[in-house]
Structure 1
Amino acid sequence: MKICSSIVPVAALASLGTALVIPELAGEGERRPKEHKGHKGASREHEGLTVKMGKPNSEDVVHMASQLSDEVSRRLAPLVTPRSADVLENRYIVLFRKGVSLEEINFHKELVSQVHLQEVSQMSEDDDFFEGIQMEGMFNSPEGGIDQAFDINGVVTGYAGYFPEKVVDAIRMSPLVEVVEKDSYVYTQKADTENNAPWGLARISHREKLNLGSYNKYLYDSDGGKGVTAYVIDTGVNVNHQQFGGRATWGKTIPEGDDDEDGNGHGTHVAGTMASATYGVAKGADIVAVKVLRSNGSGSMSDVIKGVEWATQAHQEAVKKNKPGFKGSTANMSLGGGKSPTLDLAVNAAVKAGLNFAVAAGNEDQDACNTSPASAEGPITVGASTLSDDRAYFSNWGSCVDVFAPGLNILSTYIGSETATATLSGTSMASPHVAGLLAYFLSLQPGKDSEFFNAEQSIAPDQLKKKLLAFSSKDVLTDIPSKTPNLLIYNGGGGDLKGFWGSKDVAEEFNEKVDLDLHELVENLGSKTDAVFGQIRGLMDRLDII
């Protein structure tokens, strides 16, 4: 594969760090871009170096070899390999430092592209670099180079692509670059499949442990979710499913060459728990599919970041349009991979932009702080609980977990037909309970019914997160490791939400509204009923009824 015949010395590659911008050398070890007002054709001098601004050419690249300095070599951006992750060989995510101008970014990317092309032109066609790209088959870029760029709320900006090692070394020398991260695989957080068990909604609408009178009773406000958009960042959504009643639309497919459909089922199941008519927490919310994982349930970290970017921008556009009745947005990511600082920053930036986020804690029965996006601070990280109020055996734990939600044997929508359902288990099933609950609370905010309300007045995500956690049922779960919060989400039991928004907790009043006579009967039976229910629960498990 010969793209051009010019030979670029290794020193020219190394000089890329000096050439991308003119760094302000303000002390040993500091790396930051210098603000400037350049224009096409202009040149700038600093520390004896002369660099043309505007679009670079091959002469610029070769000339930079003579400008290499020891100062630049000490300014390498860190190279991060996500912990406990399967990396994509020779693929990297590059994150810019804060405050970098658009002009600097464009010049940087132009020069990286030229240096990359000149470097790969010297490689043999059967080089492992090219073979690796072809084996991955995830991106249409036979010679590599930059193939994605992202900008999340002006806070997290960067790009991704396949690069040889020498080009990566050169990129790390740029004072514009904060970190270079090896791209890695991301997977759905589904644990296993069982038979039908629609109990999760009932659990989040009762403070007390479920019993014969409550295990299949979901108490809720029928207006919950109306006016809220719920982004499902996953494998896609079966948007034609009858359970969505026309409220589901296809937003974006990120993986190149993939179809606008859910070929896996995971995303459709998640969407159903969030907002379907029968299985959803917020039954009135609108659903938008953002496909970042392929039909096999896996994808790249860079694609996930692009999905977060798309959902964030879509939310911001909706806020600007100020459509009557729009009350805000939520997002769910029931996926995870190794520890990725870039993905964590991306999700945090989305939250700061106003997107209320829930993410799965993971299914490895380990510290959730070892994985991303579970370790991000902005979203709500969700562990999985069981019908008997235990921590699910697979659920991750630790200080990065914020709250628990039902995640074992969860019935929801699926693929294959417009009426298909399936029962799945995993923190993937727990997280959408929280994303749906965020939509539920958003839609029921005080003052939301005013025709003058607009989404910019909506409660900030960090404040809604605090209220949701404070309103959760405390110390009701067992098998909770140390430094892990013992909290189970609660929707208020279908009554008014004075207890949630700041007044006294009226949870007991909520629970008395539905099936009052049966509830009193069960209360009077006391421990005997609990014993009977335990026996029935065991029988149902053996018969695969729920």
Structure 2
Amino acid sequence: MFSKRILNILFIFNLTSFIISAPLTICDGCDHLSPRSPSPQIPSPSDDAACPNIGGTNEQFIDYNVMLKTNATNYDSVVKNHFEMLEKCLQKERYNVHELDFSSIKDNNVIFDFSVKGMIAGYTTKFTKSFVENYLSKLNDVAIVNENKVIEDPFENEFIKQAPLVRKAERPVAKMPNLDRIDQENYPLNLTYIYPDSAGAGVDVFVVDSGIFLEHEEFQGRQGKTVTEKTFCGDSLVDDDGHGTNVASIVGGKTLGVASNANIIGVKITGKDCPVNAQNIINGITYVMQQKANNPERKIVLNLSATSRDSAVGEVASKAVEAGIHFVVGAGNRNLDACGFFPGKIETVVTVASTKITPLPNQLDWASDFTNWEKCVTLFAPGEKVPVAGIKSASEITSESGTSLSAPHVSGAIALMLADGDYTPEQSKEGLLRIATKDKIQGLDFRPTANLLLRTRNAVI
């Protein structure tokens, strides 16, 4: 329990902004969270001493993403104790982000709880830097605490605009070398995309991105459903960026998609007026985890194109795979080591790099100049001049480039597998590696990476 001496010290240093107008005498019971190595400089809340250096009224409050240490036996107690500390000592309201209408939040100085019971525990909220460094990061139940930074260019300038393609009444296979390439091992291309009759039916592919333009012809008349189910950008479900629509059309578009019967479910984490940050990526991933928790039998693939340097993103991705979610991410487009970015650095995630197909008559597969590479790359897939659905009209088909376009080819390929059998994420990854086309990719001499190109023809493990 806090003593009168503590209250006097707080008064002297004018720290009421941290307590959000509530006296620290309400913090009875906070003594269950003590630092790993208590010292006179960093006391626990139960100590009859000064609070840790949480900063004065002029110190800036910053958004932090916090991951808690939990396991099967301590999950409930850790979550209960930690959040009780936050709510009692900070007097902040806590919201479950998976159920929250973000447009209703007027004051963002709250606790955004992205926990999924039994799977992962964590939150985003505002703290001072000194409080995080001197106290929060030293608590026994805190695994990761990182500043929540806006990702200036989440898709890394990958839109290399090309001339629009002409929509034809029949499937323009000759205009889709990306699909033509992934169902066969060798050239020449046979102008046919072969896939199982199930075409991904019954599999839910969550596109964690900018939403989906649902009115596009590519999503009409499909056996699988196409919806944007959740947004973390106010109340807008509209894809005002186009990136999510591009990706979704490759996953399962009627004519452009790898798995045209799969269910495509949009989770919006970015948009025109909604810059993506680690918080939104984490929210998107944990939302999908919550759907898996609600129905463990669902066959779920998660496609993510954004990359981050926040280790919390990697931790969440790792937990998602543990939960049985087949997780696919673009490797990134900086011609750098893919291991420098999350979630691609996580071994259990399928990290996809980009290739291009050289023109006739001597068609070859080349690693894209922009693609990230190295040992964290699982395999390659076409990622240059890929035909995709646009958002300017219901019939627009354009072409784009980037590892964001490579990843959904693999998400679709996994959907083809799952439609015909029950496989764990480890098994689907092993299946991809086993049937991949080997040693065909040029341009890897100085970029040591597994020479494996996506192949879906057999589409079974």
Q: What is the rounded CA distance, in whole Å, between the counterparts of 1:306 and 1:105 in structure 2?
A: 17
Hey, what does 2:185 align to over in structure 1?
Answer: 207
Are the aligned partners of 1:226 and 1:443 in contact in 2 as well (CA < 8 Å)? yes
- Give the deviation of 1:300 after TM superposition: 1.4
Counterpart amino acid of residue 199 in structure 1: P
Are the aligned partners of 2:67 and 2:145 in contact in 1 as well (CA < 8 Å)? yes
- SS of the equivalent of 1:8 reads helix
Hey, what does 1:346 align to over in structure 2?
Answer: 316
Q: Does 1:364 align with 2:364?
A: no
- Give the deviation of 1:103 after TM superposition: 4.4
Hey, what does 2:448 align to over in structure 1?
Answer: 483
Within 5 A, what are the aligned runs for 1:218-237?
A: 218-237=193-212
- Give the deviation of 1:357 after TM superposition: 1.2
Hey, what does 1:92 align to over in structure 2?
Answer: 64
Distance 1:93 1:188, change over 3 A: same
Hey, what does 1:123 align to over in structure 2?
Answer: none
Deviations 1:169-228 (A, max 9, x none): 33223222112111122413534221245221011011113x3x52x4322223221111
Are the aligned partners of 1:115 and 1:167 in contact in 2 as well (CA < 8 Å)? no
Q: What is the rounded CA distance, in whole Å, between the counterparts of 1:202 and 1:296 in structure 2?
A: 37
Are the aligned partners of 2:35 and 2:135 in contact in 1 as well (CA < 8 Å)? no
Are the aligned partners of 1:94 and 1:158 in contact in 2 as well (CA < 8 Å)? yes
Distance 1:155 1:421, change over 3 A: same
Gaps of 5+ in 1: 30-48, 52-60, 74-87, 119-136, 321-325, 446-457, 502-546
- SS of the equivalent of 2:150 reads strand
Q: Does 1:300 align with 2:277?
A: yes
Q: Does 1:181 align with 2:146?
A: yes
Deviations 1:47-76 (A, max 9, x none): xx9x9xxxxxxxxx7xx451579xx99xxx
Q: What is the rounded CA distance, in whole Å, between the counterparts of 2:61 and 2:122 in structure 1?
A: 19
Are the aligned partners of 1:11 and 1:65 in contact in 2 as well (CA < 8 Å)? no
- SS of the equivalent of 2:398 reads strand
Deviations 1:78-98 (A, max 9, x none): xxxxxxxxxx98111111112
- Give the deviation of 1:392 after TM superposition: 0.6
Deviations 1:100-124 (A, max 9, x none): 4434434433433454469xxxxxx
Q: What is the rounded CA distance, in whole Å, between the counterparts of 2:256 and 2:323 in structure 1?
A: 29
Are the aligned partners of 1:224 and 1:441 in contact in 2 as well (CA < 8 Å)? no
Q: What is the rounded CA distance, in whole Å, between the counterparts of 1:237 and 1:6 in structure 2?
A: 55
Counterpart amino acid of residue 395 in structure 1: T
Within 5 A, what are the aligned runs for 1:261-300?
A: 261-295=238-272, 298-300=275-277
Counterpart amino acid of residue 213 in structure 2: N
Hey, what does 1:109 align to over in structure 2?
Answer: 83
Q: What is the rounded CA distance, in whole Å, between the counterparts of 1:143 and 1:316 in structure 2?
A: 27
- Give the deviation of 1:487 after TM superposition: 0.4
Deviations 1:352-391 (A, max 9, x none): 1111111000001100111111112221000000013100
Hey, what does 1:531 align to over in structure 2?
Answer: none
Counterpart amino acid of residue 181 in structure 2: R
Are the aligned partners of 2:66 and 2:123 in contact in 1 as well (CA < 8 Å)? yes
Hey, what does 2:291 align to over in structure 1?
Answer: 314
Distance 1:143 1:373, change over 3 A: closer
Counterpart amino acid of residue 350 in structure 1: A
Counterpart amino acid of residue 230 in structure 1: V
- SS of the equivalent of 2:307 reads strand
Hey, what does 2:420 align to over in structure 1?
Answer: 444
Gaps of 5+ in 2: 1-6, 54-59, 93-101, 166-174, 359-364
Distance 1:312 1:268, change over 3 A: same
Counterpart amino acid of residue 93 in structure 1: N
Are the aligned partners of 2:205 and 2:265 in contact in 1 as well (CA < 8 Å)? yes
- SS of the equivalent of 2:115 reads strand
Deviations 1:303-352 (A, max 9, x none): 111111111221333445xxxxx6x12110011122x2211111111111
Distance 1:346 1:365, change over 3 A: same
Q: What is the rounded CA distance, in whole Å, between the counterparts of 2:124 and 2:410 in structure 1?
A: 31
Within 5 A, what are the aligned runs for 1:10-409?
A: 19=30, 21=32, 64=46, 66=48, 90-99=62-71, 100-113=74-87, 115-116=89-90, 140=105, 142=107, 144-146=109-111, 148-152=112-116, 154-168=118-132, 169-186=134-151, 187-189=154-156, 190-195=158-163, 196=165, 198-209=176-187, 211=188, 214=190, 216-245=191-220, 247-255=225-233, 257-295=234-272, 298-319=275-296, 328-338=299-309, 340-388=310-358, 389-409=365-385
Counterpart amino acid of residue 398 in structure 1: E
Are the aligned partners of 1:250 and 1:288 in contact in 2 as well (CA < 8 Å)? yes
Are the aligned partners of 1:113 and 1:145 in contact in 2 as well (CA < 8 Å)? no
Are the aligned partners of 2:285 and 2:317 in contact in 1 as well (CA < 8 Å)? yes
Q: What is the rounded CA distance, in whole Å, between the counterparts of 2:244 and 2:204 in structure 1?
A: 16
Hey, what does 1:536 align to over in structure 2?
Answer: none
Q: What is the rounded CA distance, in whole Å, between the counterparts of 1:176 and 1:11 in structure 2?
A: 28
- SS of the equivalent of 2:10 reads coil
Hey, what does 1:530 align to over in structure 2?
Answer: none
Q: What is the rounded CA distance, in whole Å, between the counterparts of 2:427 and 2:263 in structure 1?
A: 23
Q: How many residues align?
A: 402
Identity rate, percent: 25
**TM-score scaled to structure 2, two decimals?**
0.78
Counterpart amino acid of residue 66 in structure 2: V
Are the aligned partners of 2:35 and 2:138 in contact in 1 as well (CA < 8 Å)? no
Counterpart amino acid of residue 155 in structure 2: T
- SS of the equivalent of 1:354 reads coil
Deviations 1:7-39 (A, max 9, x none): 7267998999x94525598xx79xxxxxxxxxx
Q: What is the rounded CA distance, in whole Å, between the counterparts of 1:376 and 1:471 in structure 2?
A: 22
| Pairwise CA RMSD | 3.4
Counterpart amino acid of residue 145 in structure 2: V
Distance 1:297 1:67, change over 3 A: closer
- Between 479-488 and 148-157, report the one with greater CA deviation: 148-157
Q: What is the rounded CA distance, in whole Å, between the counterparts of 1:194 and 1:329 in structure 2?
A: 32
- SS of the equivalent of 1:295 reads coil
Are the aligned partners of 2:209 and 2:266 in contact in 1 as well (CA < 8 Å)? yes
Q: What is the rounded CA distance, in whole Å, between the counterparts of 1:145 and 1:67 in structure 2?
A: 27
- Give the deviation of 1:294 after TM superposition: 2.0
- SS of the equivalent of 1:306 reads helix
Distance 1:371 1:20, change over 3 A: farther
Deviations 1:263-305 (A, max 9, x none): 1110011000000110000011011111111226731111111
Distance 1:6 1:305, change over 3 A: farther
Higher share of residues assigned helix: 1
Q: What is the rounded CA distance, in whole Å, between the counterparts of 1:282 and 1:223 in structure 2?
A: 9
